[in-house]
Amino acid sequence: MASGASVEQNMQKAAEYRAAVAQRGVKNLINGEWVDGAAEFTTSSPIDNSLICRVAEGDAADIDRAAQAAWEAFPAWAALKAKTRRDILYRFAELIEENAERISLLESLDTGQPIRFMSKAALRGAANFRFFADRVEGARDGLSLPADDHLNYTIRQPIGPVGVITPWNTPFMLSTWKIAPALAAGCTVVHKPAELSPVTAQILSELGLAAGLPPGVLNLVNGFGETAGKALTEHPHIKAIAFVGETVTGSLIMQQGAPTLKRVHFELGGKNPVIVFADADLDRALDAAIFMKYSLNGERCTSSSRLLVEEPIYDEFVEKLAARVEKIRVGHPLDPATEVGPLIDPGHLAKVQSYVDLAEEEGAVKAFGGGQPAGLESGNYIRPTFVTQATAEMRIAQEEIFGPYLIAIPFEGEEEALKIANGVKYGLTAYIWTRDVARALKMAHEVEAGMVWVNSQNVRHLPTPFGGVKSSGIGRDGGDYSFDFYMETKNISIALGDHPISRLGAS
Ligand code: NAD
């Protein structure tokens, strides 16, 4: 496995996988056939912006063919015996595990994410399939709701073909997080991956076919958001859209889907607070705050991008944090020692750097970071950035930056911490560090976030609900919450006897 391999071994294996991808390119999968798109675009590696391969560029006609295939495949897939569907999804998980090295190395090459994190991405993807495969047999379960004269009971049925639209940051894992429950529920899928990192989506579809998914059950159409993505959200055969990406895109998708009354599930941006009180275990809080911002290149929706520190410990805490940030190892993502790799593309690098410049313009203090590390100028590398003495209303404290960039804001007491924490448009996660249980509970209840961790970093448990409030999203994933999205609940009411029926026109 890539995680135990040296940088040389990773590079050699990655070069082999890359050569194979370069030769074939990334295709679309429609109705079980690998096909070219109407045109082509390319994907490049953030390591040096060199070409990885050509990618089929789907347009509205390709989306139409894929949606039609998903529509035709739906009745048989939905009617399949639960055990058969479960077995296919288990096989899918096994194949992901067997291909974990290829997936991890290509994901690192295509996204710039360090291999130390990506080596687990494929395994987490497989775990998602296993988790939902285990629940296939119960997915249709409903409630028994007896009334005086009727027995009511509910069942759940798959909603139909769904569209899955994913972002570029950790594409493989996020795609499985959406596609596994959709397939388990009995839906068919058209997947539109992000144009900036499309390589591993092709492997996912390839493994789905090999696992025995019938043609049309999982379709893949690559392309741009404004064309292929838009057409998917507008297609009348597509009953729901599961979307992960930026808040503004979510808003556009809602508009695009309105004429066909799409059900939508949105996992959007964040500006998540980590709130450290003076009574916390400060060493653990420090480790968690650093991990939650600088892992995955900071290109992580649940990252703790605002560090709120109680006044009495502020100076000491930020000083220790700055010393650690300075030592974070920036480098080639295939090097197992690398902690932060290159950002997805030059445009995103320029965006993150613009916030480094803005920090000083707004009057905050740059403790460390910004600019390109020496020797790494040919890729989209930036030095991890830590900004102190920020205030809540600054743009650097309000806007999602989505890079290895943390700001620190001092606060006095619970009320001020809550005011700052809740004073942004986002509400995805919050992290609270204190040894005072009553305070932890009060803060957890009052902070505006879909998910709260107390004395912890983001540790996922698949049955728990995942999602945000405010501009961070609509709906929840995880466990049964995912089935609620991909399925319709139907109520069936059966008369228990001769209850009264009004006899209109009878006299
Ligand atoms: P993005 O919104 O630019 O793109 C996401 C996807 O949407 C891409 O596949 C893109 O092609 C597509 N798209 C763009 N315009 C579209 C349109 N008009 N219609 C349909 N599809 C369209 O996001 P990104 O830059 O790829 O990803 C980064 C964002 O994702 C960040 O804001 C991050 O916070 C968010 N994110 C959120 C979560 C979460 O769980 N909340 C997880 C990961 C990433």
Average pLDDT over residues 227-254: 98
Q: How much distance in Å is there from the Cα of 385 to the middle of ligand 1?
A: 24
Q: Is residue 461 assigned to a domain?
A: no
User: What is the secondary structure of 11-76 as a DSSP string?
Assistant: HHHHHHHHHHHHHH-B-EEETTEEE--SEEEEEE-TTT--EEEEEEE--HHHHHHHHHHHHHHHHH
How far apart CA 474 and CA 433 sit, in angstroms, is 27
How far apart CA 457 and CA 428 sit, in angstroms, is 14
181: Cβ contacts below 8 Å, ≥ 6 apart: 132, 477, 482, 483, 485, 486
Cβ of 355 closer than 6 Å to ligand 1, yes or no, is no
Average pLDDT over residues 233-245: 98
Q: Does one domain contain both 316 and 405?
A: yes
Cβ of 265 closer than 6 Å to ligand 1, yes or no, is no
**Nearest atom of ligand 1 to the alpha carbon of 193:** 9
Please check whether residue 372 is in contact with residue 393, taking contact to mean a CB–CB distance below 8 angstroms.
no
Q: Does one domain contain both 183 and 324?
A: no
Is the pLDDT assigned to residue 37 strictly greater than 60? yes
Q: Does one domain contain both 319 and 215?
A: no
Average pLDDT over residues 420-429: 98
Which tens digit of pLDDT belongs to each residue from 259-278? 999 999 999 999 999 999 99
pLDDT of res. 507: 84
Q: Does one domain contain both 480 and 446?
A: no
Mutate to test the pocket of ligand 1, among 249, 302, 400 (most ligand atoms within 8 A of CB): 249
Q: Is residue 500 assigned to a domain?
A: no
Which tens digit of pLDDT belongs to each residue from 437-471? 999 999 999 999 999 999 999 999 999 999 999 99
**Nearest atom of ligand 1 to the alpha carbon of 348:** 25
Which tens digit of pLDDT belongs to each residue from 402-416? 999 999 999 999 999
Q: Which residues have a catalytic role annotated?
A: 267, 301
pLDDT of res. 2: 46
Q: Does one domain contain both 350 and 370?
A: yes
Query: pTM above the 0.95 mark?
Result: yes
Please check whether residue 488 is in contact with residue 185, taking contact to mean a CB–CB distance below 8 angstroms.
no
Average pLDDT over residues 294-323: 97
Q: How much distance in Å is there from the Cα of 266 to the middle of ligand 1?
A: 10
Q: Does one domain contain both 129 and 209?
A: yes
Which tens digit of pLDDT belongs to each residue from 111-129? 999 999 999 999 999 999 9
**Nearest atom of ligand 1 to the alpha carbon of 428:** 41
Is the pLDDT assigned to residue 3 strictly greater than 70? no
Cβ of 266 closer than 6 Å to ligand 1, yes or no, is no
Q: Does one domain contain both 33 and 165?
A: yes
Helix H or strand E encompassing 180: helix 171-185
Which tens digit of pLDDT belongs to each residue from 153-172? 999 999 999 999 999 999 99
Count of structural domains, the chain: 2
CA angle 195, 201, 206 (to 5 degrees): 140
Q: Is residue 295 assigned to a domain?
A: yes
Please check whether residue 41 is in contact with residue 182, taking contact to mean a CB–CB distance below 8 angstroms.
no
Cβ of 252 closer than 6 Å to ligand 1, yes or no, is yes
Among residues 194, 156, 162, which one has the least CA distance to residue 178? 162
Residue 299: give the domain boundaries.
Answer: 273-454
226: Cβ contacts below 8 Å, ≥ 6 apart: none
Q: Does one domain contain both 257 and 319?
A: no
Helix H or strand E encompassing 274: strand 272-276
CATH of the domain at 8: 3.40.605.10
Is the pLDDT assigned to residue 50 strictly greater than 60? yes
How far apart CA 201 and CA 207 sit, in angstroms, is 10
Cβ of 402 closer than 6 Å to ligand 1, yes or no, is yes
pLDDT of res. 4: 76
Q: Is residue 397 assigned to a domain?
A: yes
Cβ of 429 closer than 6 Å to ligand 1, yes or no, is no
Average pLDDT over residues 91-98: 98
Q: Does one domain contain both 216 and 331?
A: no
Average pLDDT of the chain is: 97
Is the pLDDT assigned to residue 308 strictly greater than 90? yes
User: For the chain, what percent of residues have pLDDT higher than 90?
Assistant: 98
Q: Does one domain contain both 399 and 440?
A: yes
Q: Does one domain contain both 257 and 312?
A: no
Q: Does one domain contain both 242 and 299?
A: no
Q: Give SS3 for 312.
A: helix
